[in-house]
Amino acid sequence: MEIYSGKRLTVEKKVVTLPDGEKKELVIVHPGGAVAILPVEGDACYLIRQYRFAIDDYILEAPAGTIDEGEKPEETAYRELIEETGMKAERFIPKGWIYPSPGYTDERIWLFMAEGLSPSSEYRRDDDEFIEVLRVPLSALSGMIANGTIIDAKTICLVCRCFG
């Protein structure tokens, strides 16, 4: 039974049968798909420092965004990179996908590394985004993950998939 439906998200209450045969009522969030992009240039990458209202704080993360209806993940990656960084890329290298939180949602995030960066004349940020673009040395990424500077799960997964 659908308990909420919005522009980009539905929430469903559903009776599921668990592996042991027990039935249980659960809530599943269906946000649709998303992408995350690690733009790489030489020995550095670009991350964004973005305000996230759900946690009422700024975090350091890879540019990312939701897939519009009918859009392919690669098209979303191209669009979101421009929207969040003002850069376009010549190449988007697929790095697979992840389930960021499968305990309550079926969301998939497709991961890409972007190369061949240049400024874009199509730059336009969404009016609810507060973003600062930062150039980060690739050599600093693992330390930033280890010391808690980077705490965003999709960004950690993306760094591991790119430089594992």
The per-residue pLDDT string of the chain (164 residues; one tens digit each, 9 = 90 and over) reads 999 998 888 999 999 999 999 999 999 999 999 999 999 999 999 999 999 999 999 999 999 999 999 999 999 999 999 999 999 999 999 999 999 999 999 999 999 999 999 999 876 666 677 899 999 999 999 999 999 999 999 999 999 999 98
Contact 61, 48 (CB under 8 A): yes
**How many structural domains does the chain have?**
2
Q: Are residues 22 and 40 both part of a single domain?
A: no
Q: Are residues 134 and 76 both part of a single domain?
A: yes
Query: CATH number, domain at 44?
Result: 3.90.79.10
Q: Find the domain containing 61 and state its range.
A: 33-163
Q: Are residues 100 and 39 both part of a single domain?
A: yes
> What are the tokens at 2?
């659908």
Q: Are residues 52 and 120 both part of a single domain?
A: yes
Q: Are residues 18 and 82 both part of a single domain?
A: no
Q: What is the pTM of this model?
A: 0.91
